[in-house]
């Protein structure tokens, strides 16, 4: 018995392998600090948990949910976009509920691209953009994200013959893994090019609320005429520390949202209604204070790690958003070698940049998902390991 041939196109999922390596160290009695996966260690706000508890007890919520998201959920998302981004969307036509952004990203690719189509994918990037394009039978066109351009793709360098075959362009700002942000001028350029070439612009805005130093991330839908060509993914996972709850929304272009909703109706039964009610409560309950407190925590953690690794001789920028740090490997190492070195010599998991694409080679990513004390300990271990290198 063999899996389908398409499965041979998929590499092992990065974080499964990192977890395996970390567990092998723990079995040896080692105290491993895992800075690999971007999973918040902070708790979901109590008012959201309370709303969930109340909703779970309602028998009406124990039945199948609405495939596309409850009317109340979609309306709450539309209200939030009007409040947060000053963007008006039709809740019934331009919003669909998702079982987390990952699910929606994957299914939108299946809904919009297939054999003979090209999907424009950043490199490095969240691996799902590429893997699902491959599974859908479409062709990946990699757009390099390099430091000299602030980790923004050069959209004008994409050949005309590629644009003619392109169906989707993926962007993600604030960016995973680099922590980069995109100026409004770049987003405007992206919208204009996608309108010119009739390409769906897909913006993964999972880190919209995780910003520092006065920076405030925009929505792609704020750009004039973006609704003609753009769909955005907004997630509760990072801003509300709800990664395990699996709730998000796709918002934007009517054709794309309807296609995604139709495909989902054949694949899943929607988000548990009690979770949707908790997500509504999250948006309605004054989340700005939640974001401010959360971002204060991550800013302090960021400063601890940036300061410590700079003292250890590593070149480290100070990002304005996300809870990731993206930095060059120690001299003489590949990304995989550096990741293995820090695990074996410092009992600290850091993610090899090469796992995010060819352009990630030579880089590492740290997720600020441990306390300041544990981060300081990890940095000290890493610095000691670097000092002891022959």
Give the pairing of strands 348-349 and 139-144: unpaired
Q: Where are the domains of the chain?
A: 5-44+288-387, 46-285
Q: In this predicted structure, what is the pLDDT of residue 133?
A: 97
Q: In this predicted structure, what is the pLDDT of residue 14?
A: 63
Q: In this predicted structure, what is the pLDDT of residue 232?
A: 98
Q: In this predicted structure, what is the pLDDT of residue 58?
A: 96
- pTM over 0.75, yes/no: yes
Residues in the chain, pLDDT under 70: 13-15
At the second CATH level, the architecture of 46-285 is: 3-Layer(aba) Sandwich (3.40)
Q: In this predicted structure, what is the pLDDT of residue 23?
A: 83
DSSP of 70-119, one letter per residue?
-HHHHHHHHHHHHHHH-----TTTSEEEESSHHHHHHHHHHHH--TT-EE
Q: In this predicted structure, what is the pLDDT of residue 254?
A: 98
The highest-level CATH class for domain 5-44+288-387 is alpha beta
Buried b / exposed e over 257-287, threshold 16 CB at 10 Å, is: bebbbeebeeeeebbbbbbbbbbbbbbeeeb
Q: In this predicted structure, what is the pLDDT of residue 13?
A: 66
How far is residue 234's CA from residue 205's CA, in Å, rounded to a whole number?
6
Q: In this predicted structure, what is the pLDDT of residue 300?
A: 98
């Amino acid at each position: 018995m063999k899996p389908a041939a398409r499965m041979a196109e998929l590499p092992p999922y990065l974080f499964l392998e990192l977890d395996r390596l970390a567990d092998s160290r723990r079995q040896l009695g080692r105290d491993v600090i895992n800075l690999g996966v971007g999973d918040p260690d902070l708790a979901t706000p109590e008012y959201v948990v309370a709303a969930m508890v109340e909703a779970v007890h309602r028998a009406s919520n124990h039945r199948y949910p609405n495939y596309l998201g409850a009317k109340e959920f979609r309306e709450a998302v539309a209200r939030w976009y009007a409040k947060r981004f000053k963007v008006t969307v039709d809740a019934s036509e331009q919003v669909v509920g998702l079982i987390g952004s990952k699910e929606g990203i994957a299914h939108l690719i299946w809904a919009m691209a297939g054999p003979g189509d090209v999907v424009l994918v950043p490199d490095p990037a969240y691996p799902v953009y590429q893997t699902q394009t491959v599974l859908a039978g479409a062709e990946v066109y990699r757009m390099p994200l390099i430091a000299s351009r602030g980790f923004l793709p050069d959209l004008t360098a994409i050949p005309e013959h590629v644009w003619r075959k392109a169906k989707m362009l993926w962007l993600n700002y604030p960016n995973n893994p680099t922590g980069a942000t995109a100026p409004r001028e770049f987003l405007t350029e992206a919208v204009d090019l996608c309108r010119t070439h009739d390409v769906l612009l897909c913006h993964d805005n999972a880190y919209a609320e995780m910003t520092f130093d006065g920076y405030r991330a925009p929505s792609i839908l704020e750009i004039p005429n973006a609704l003609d060509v753009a769909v955005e993914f907004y997630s509760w996972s990072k801003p509300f520390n709800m990664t395990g709850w699996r709730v998000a929304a796709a918002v934007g272009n009517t054709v794309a949202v309807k296609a995604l909703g139709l495909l989902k109706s054949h694949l899943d039964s929607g988000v548990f209604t009690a979770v949707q009610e908790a997500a509504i409560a999250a948006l309605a309950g004054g989340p700005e204070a939640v974001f401010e407190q959360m971002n204060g925590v991550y800013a302090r953690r960021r400063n601890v790690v940036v300061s410590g690794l700079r003292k250890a001789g590593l070149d480290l920028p100070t990002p304005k958003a996300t809870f990731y740090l993206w930095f060059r490997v120690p001299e003489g190492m590949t990304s995989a070698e550096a990741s293995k070195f820090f695990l074996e010599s410092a009992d600290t998991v850091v993610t090899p940049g090469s796992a995010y694409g060819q352009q990630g080679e030579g880089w590492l990513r740290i997720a600020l998902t441990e306390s300041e004390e544990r981060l300081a300990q990890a940095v000290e271990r890493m610095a000691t390991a670097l000092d002891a290198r022959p």
